[in-house]
Structure 1
Amino acid sequence: MSSATTHVMQVIFALEFGGAESLALNVSSLLREDKRFSVSLCGMFGSMGPLSDVASQRGVSAFSLDARRLGKVRTVAELYRLFRLEGVAVAQVHGAYLLQYVMPAALLAGVAVVYTEHAKHSLSKHARLRRMANLHGRLFGKMVCVSENLRAFMIDVVGLRPDRIEVIPNGIDLSRFAHSAYERIRHNDGVVIGTVARLTEAKDHGNLLRAFATVHEEVPDVRLKLVGDGELRQEVESLVSTLGLEDAVEMTGKRSNIPQLLAGMDIFVLPSRREGFPVSVIEAMACGRPVVATDVGGVREIIDDGVDGIVVPPEDSAALAAAMLALVRDPEGRSRLGKCAGRKACENFSDQAMVDNYIRLFASVGGARA
C-alpha cells in the first residue's frame, strides 16, 4: 500500500444493508476516487454479507470479524492485526457499541478513531455506551453526529464537550434520482402512498397501517406500498389482514431499485418512532415526492413543514391520516411540495458535499492533505 495515501477503514456492525452501513459504503466508494486515500470496510459481527458483494463491485475491500464467536479479547487482537496489515491510519466507527473493540485495538496500532453516531436510542438506554462515548472523546477527540438534534443530545445527555462534535448530515448519490424520475410512473390505479423501511419496531408500520385504513375508508382506490423486510414481517402482514387491507396494501420485500419504486409513488411516508437523519426521506425528496414524516431525530432539519413536506407527531395515527388524506385530495399541493422537495435535496444533500466534510475531518486526524 502506498505510503502517500491515508487508509480509512469503516468499522460497522455487520456487512448487511442498513442506514449506517450504507453510509459507510458510500463514504468508502467516494473516498476511493480521491488519490490521497485508500479504503476498506470491516463488519464486526457475522460473516461476509450482501454489503461485501456491492463493496467488491465498487473496488472496496471488505473484512469480517465474528466478534460473537471470538470474544472480546480475541476480537481486539484480530482487529489490531487487521489495522496493521492494512496500514490503517483512520478508523471511522459507526455506533458507540463498537468502540469497546475499536478503541483498544486502535490505541495499540496507533490508529486515529473517528466515532460517528447515527441515533440516540441505544445511548439513552445504556449508561455503558455513554461512558464509552465519553472515553472516546478524552482519548481521540473528534466525533461526528448526523444531525444537530443528535449533537444537542450528545452534549446535554451524554456529556460531551461541544468542541469535540462535528455535524455532518447524510447525503445521497443524486445521480440515481435523476430528473426523469420526477414524473410519476402511471398505472391504472389511484393515488399510491409508499414507504421504504425495514420492518422493525422503530419504523412503526403499525401506525402507518392504522392511518392508512382511515384514508382508505375515505378514498377507496388509494393504495399503500411497503418496501422492505425485517423481523416484524409476520406481525405487519397480520395487521394488514386484521384491518381488511389485503387488496390495498402491497408488501414488496427487500428491493434494490429504490429510485424506480419511488417514481411509482405519489406520496412518501416516514412513520418512525425514532430516527437519526433519515436517508429515505432525502431520497424521496430527490425523486420529487412529497413527504409526510414524523417529528423524530433530524427530520425537521430536512423538512420545512408545509413548504417541502409535512411533519406530524410520532405515534399519532389520526394526525398521520389527516396529513396523508389532505395530500391524496390535493394533487396540486402534492406537486408543489414535491417540486420544492426536489430542489432542496439537490441543493443541500449531495453525497459529495458530505464526503468533502469527511475528507476535511480525516485529513485533520490522519495526516492527509485537506
Structure 2
Amino acid sequence: MKKKILYIQPYASHVGGVDSVLLQLIDGLNKNIYEPFVVLPNQSPYVEKYQKLGATVLFEPLAVFGKPTSWKYYIENFYILIKSIGRLKKIVKNHKIDLIHSHKMELMGGNIVGKILNVPTVQTIHELPRNPLIAYKAVGYLNHLFNDAVIVLCNRSKSVMEWGRLKSNKVRKIYNGISIKDNNPLGSNIREELNLSKEDKIAITVARLSPMKGIEFLLDAANELKKENPNLKFVIIGDVAFEHEKEYKEVLINKSKKLNLEGTVFFLGLRRDVPSLLNQSDIFILPSVYDIFPTVILEAMSCSIPIVGTDVGGVPEMVRNNTGIIVPASDSRKLAQGVKEILNNDYKLMGKNGRELLEREFTQEKYVSQTVEIYEGLLKIGDSYE
C-alpha cells in the first residue's frame, strides 16, 4: 500500500519560492511508493502544477507565527490555529495520511496534529535567523518539540535550533536541488531584442523586485562598471510579487534613470524563457541582502555560467572558489569588483566548473533521495494511528 504524505505550504505564492522547491520534491517521488497531498491556504498559479504531478490539492486556513504585521496578528493566528488543527485532523484521518511534512518554520498546525494522532512529522525551515533573534529561537524550539525531524537548507539556519549549549538532535541539512535539463527551449534572441552587439557581455539577474534582493546595489555597480567597460550590459528579469513592493520598483526605475543607465541596464519584467536567457548570458549576479538558498543560482549553474553572489544565507555553500565569487552584501563597490574579477579570469571555465558542481551536489535526485531517507526512517516507527 502506498504511503500518503501530506505537504503543507502556508503561502499562496505567485512567484515560486517554496512552491518551486516543493514541486521538485513531489516530482521526484516514486509514485508507486508515495502518494502526495498538498494543503494550501487558497488558490495560486501552482495548484495546477501540483495536480499535474499527481498531487491531491486541498485548501484550508493555516496559522503562521512569524513577524507580526499588526497588533492583532498573534491573536488572529491563534484563532486560525485552533480552527486549522480540527480541519487538518479530519484530512489526516479521512485520507489515512502516514506522514506530515510542513514547510516554513512559522507554520503551526500540521506538526501539532501529528503529535495528537501519532503521525510522524517533518518541518523544513526556509528561514534565516533575524532580529529579534529570541523570537526565531522560540519558534525553532516549537519546531523541535512538535516534529520528529527538522530540515535546514544551509548551515546558517541551524542557529535557530540552538539554545545556548543546547542543540536540537533532530536537525538534518539537505540542499535543495533542481532537475537538470540540457535541451532548454529557445526563447527570443536577447541580443537582437536589446540591439546588442557580439562584443557585448551580458550580466543577468533573475529576482523578485523586492528590497531583500538588493537590486539598488546592482544599479550602483553597473554605473561604476559602465565607465570602463561600456560593452557590459545588465539584464534584470523579474517583477514585484506583492502590492507593497511596487514602491520599491519605482525607486529602482527612477534610480536607473538618474544614473543614466539607459542602454546599460534593461528591466525585462517576468519572462517565461528564463533558461534560454541564462544560456545566452555570460555571468549571473545575485546582489541579495537577504536570501536563504536561491535556486536561481542552481539554474544559472545548469547553464554553465559563473556566479557573483553576496555573502548571505547558503550562497557561500552554493558558490565555490572555482565557480564564482562571493562578495559582501550591500556593497556596490565590492559587487563591481567581483564582476570585473570574473570577467578578467577564464569565466567560461568557471561556468563549466559550476555545472559539474551542480551535477555532484545539487541535483533533484540527491535532494529527493535524502528527503525520502528521512521519511523511510520515520515510517519504520510503526503505524500512523489507531
Q: Name the TM-score class by shorter chain.
A: 0.7 to 0.9
Distance 1:227 1:246 in 2: 16
Distance 2:44 2:261 in 1: 34
Preserved contact between residue 42 and residue 63 of structure 1 (Cα < 8 Å): yes
| TM-score, normalised via structure 1 length | 0.87
Q: Unaligned stretches of 5+ in structure 2? A: 64-75
Distance 1:59 1:368 in 2: 27
User: Are 2:285 and 1:269 equivalent residues in the alignment?
Assistant: yes
In structure 2, what is the equivalent of residue 28 of structure 1? 26
Check 1:362–1:179 CA distance in 2 against 1; reply closer, same or farther (3 A cut).
Answer: same
Once the two structures are overlaid, the 10-residue window that deviates more, 243-252 or 340-349, is 243-252
In structure 2, what is the equivalent of residue 339 of structure 1? 352
Q: Deviations over 1:18-37 (max 9, x none)?
A: 32221112111211x34111
Of 98, 102, 116, the residue aligned with 1:108 is 116
Of 36, 40, 44, the residue aligned with 1:39 is 36
Preserved contact between residue 36 and residue 368 of structure 1 (Cα < 8 Å): no
1:346: how far off?
1.4
Q: Unaligned stretches of 5+ in structure 1? A: none
1:352: how far off?
0.6
User: Are 2:332 and 1:324 equivalent residues in the alignment?
Assistant: no
1:102: how far off?
2.2
Structure 1 residue matching 2:127: 3-state secondary structure: coil
CA RMSD of aligned residues (A): 2.6
Distance 1:347 1:9 in 2: 29
In structure 2, what is the equivalent of residue 254 of structure 1? 270
Of 136, 144, 147, the residue aligned with 1:137 is 144
Structure 2 residue matching 1:88: 3-state secondary structure: coil
* Identity rate, percent: 22
Distance 1:299 1:75 in 2: 35
User: Are 2:312 and 1:302 equivalent residues in the alignment?
Assistant: no
Preserved contact between residue 154 and residue 160 of structure 1 (Cα < 8 Å): no
Check 1:22–1:180 CA distance in 2 against 1; reply closer, same or farther (3 A cut).
Answer: closer
Give the AA of the match of 2:210.
T
Give the AA of the match of 2:173.
V
Give the AA of the match of 2:169.
D
Distance 1:91 1:228 in 2: 33
User: Are 2:173 and 1:167 equivalent residues in the alignment?
Assistant: yes
Of 209, 216, 219, the residue aligned with 2:219 is 209
Structure 2 residue matching 1:195: 3-state secondary structure: strand
Distance 1:203 1:314 in 2: 10
Q: How does 1:220-239 map to 2 (within 5 A)?
A: 220-230=230-240, 231=245, 232-239=248-255
| TM-score, normalised via structure 2 length | 0.84
Distance 1:366 1:290 in 2: 41
1:302: how far off?
1.5
Once the two structures are overlaid, the 10-residue window that deviates more, 287-296 or 358-367, is 358-367
Check 1:67–1:154 CA distance in 2 against 1; reply closer, same or farther (3 A cut).
Answer: closer
1:361: how far off?
0.3
Of 238, 251, 256, the residue aligned with 1:240 is 256
Distance 2:249 2:184 in 1: 33
Aligned length: 354
Preserved contact between residue 24 and residue 177 of structure 2 (Cα < 8 Å): no
In structure 2, what is the equivalent of residue 81 of structure 1? 90
Give the AA of the match of 1:224.
F
Check 1:313–1:140 CA distance in 2 against 1; reply closer, same or farther (3 A cut).
Answer: same
1:368: how far off?
9.4
Once the two structures are overlaid, the 10-residue window that deviates more, 284-293 or 272-281, is 272-281
Preserved contact between residue 7 and residue 38 of structure 1 (Cα < 8 Å): yes
Structure 1 residue matching 2:268: 3-state secondary structure: strand
